[in-house]
Structure 1
Amino acid sequence: MFRSPFPLTAVALAAVALPAAAAAAPGPLQISSRVMVETRARAADGTTRLALAPARRVVPGDRVTVVLAYRNTGAQPLAGVTLDNPIPRGLVYRAPAPGSAAPAVSLDGRRYAALDQLRVALPGGGTRAALPDDVTHVRWRLDRPLTAGGGGEFAFQAVLH
């Protein structure tokens, strides 16, 4: 796991956050990602509000949200769209972001399911329930064809280690 005493820039973190699907051949499915960091601001009424801001500087312990945006730039609908995103090195998965569909998750990049359906093999035999810390990949599948010009976003929360 990546551990650095130096803050990462948003550019460095965003570079490792690009989804695997973005490396595919160019086509009508355009994918981008961005990293947002959780900030706290004091409101006029004295309460503390949480907000997301573009990650310009993040340090270990910061809570971030990785946003995966997708768009069909073609003239025809796209069927069977699956978006895979490895969890970038140095980040630990926590949960889907509020308002985002829950992804299927994987502990190895091959088998995907809901987190509560996955088990981790223990040395010497036996298994235990998978934890968010065990997640290495997230995946979303679109239930319907993506219309021409259509798009959307999925997001997950993580912590920088």
Structure 2
Amino acid sequence: MVLPSFITRTIAVAAVAFAVPAIAGAGPLQVTSKVFIETPTRAADGSAKMTLMPAKKAVPGDRVVFVLAYRNTGAQPLDKLVFDNPLPAGIAYRAPAQGSAAPELSVDGRTYGPLSTLRVAAAGTPARPARADDVTHVRWRLNGPLAANGQGQFAFQAVLK
């Protein structure tokens, strides 16, 4: 699956919103988020494939892709950018989208890392390994400065609960 080119309108999915990160003092940093639904379609040769369609409405069980696009509209590079996003309650994280860097994950909004390193503890029970359904936050860090007029995107797959 290839991520679509940027679409000019913002898509809302039945009370599902993807929080745009708050980045204090960033000024020229523009961040947009879009939601797409994975829809089965037929290729010209008759084979089945998944296509990303703008999400107009979704129901539980639908597979969705959240795309976070960013751009530096300023004349100077921006450094040390972190995109930290809580997941809406009705969304279950599944995986990074094809072609996107894997996000750091969190099950509590404080501790981040690969899913295999995270643990979940419920009151009165021993901690257990975290599962994708336990993820509450995704976070990406840019490895270097974002050049003037630089842009990029991150994306992840999820399912509506």
- Structure 1 residues 18, 122: closer, same or farther in 2, change over 3 A? closer
Query: How far apart are the structure 1 equivalents of 2:17 and 2:106?
Result: 18
Q: Which residue of 1 aligns with 2:31?
A: 31
> Bigger shift: 68-77 or 114-123?
114-123
Alpha-carbon contact 1:37-1:52 (below 8 Å) kept: yes
- Corresponding residue for residue 18 of structure 2: 17
Does 2:23 align with 1:62? no
Structure with more of its chain in strand, by fraction: 1
Q: Secondary structure at the match of 2:50?
A: strand
State the alpha-carbon separation in 1 of the partners of residues 47 and 82 from structure 2.
40
Q: CA-to-partner distance for each residue in 1:35-79, whole Å, 9 max, x for gaps?
A: 000011122322111110110121111000000000111110011
Higher helix share: 1
User: What is the aligned-residue identity percentage?
Assistant: 58
- Structure 1: give runs of 5+ residues left out of the alignment: 1-9
Q: Which has the larger displacement, 104-113 or 118-127?
A: 118-127
The letter of the residue matching 2:145 is P
Q: What is the CA distance between 1:88 and its match in structure 2?
A: 1.5
**Alpha-carbon deviations, 1:92-123, whole Å to 9, x = none?**
11111111000001111111111111111144
Deviation at 1:14, TM superposition (A): 7.7
The count of residues paired between Structure 1 and Structure 2 equals 151
How far apart in 2 are the matches of 1:60 and 1:53? Answer: 17
1:28-107 equivalences in 2 (<5 Å): 28-107=28-107
* Structure 1 ranges of 4+ moved more than 3 A: 12-15
Is 1:145 the counterpart of 2:141 in the alignment? Answer: no
TM-score by length of 1: 0.87
Q: Which runs of 5+ in 2 are unaligned?
A: 1-10
1:129 aligns with 2:151: no
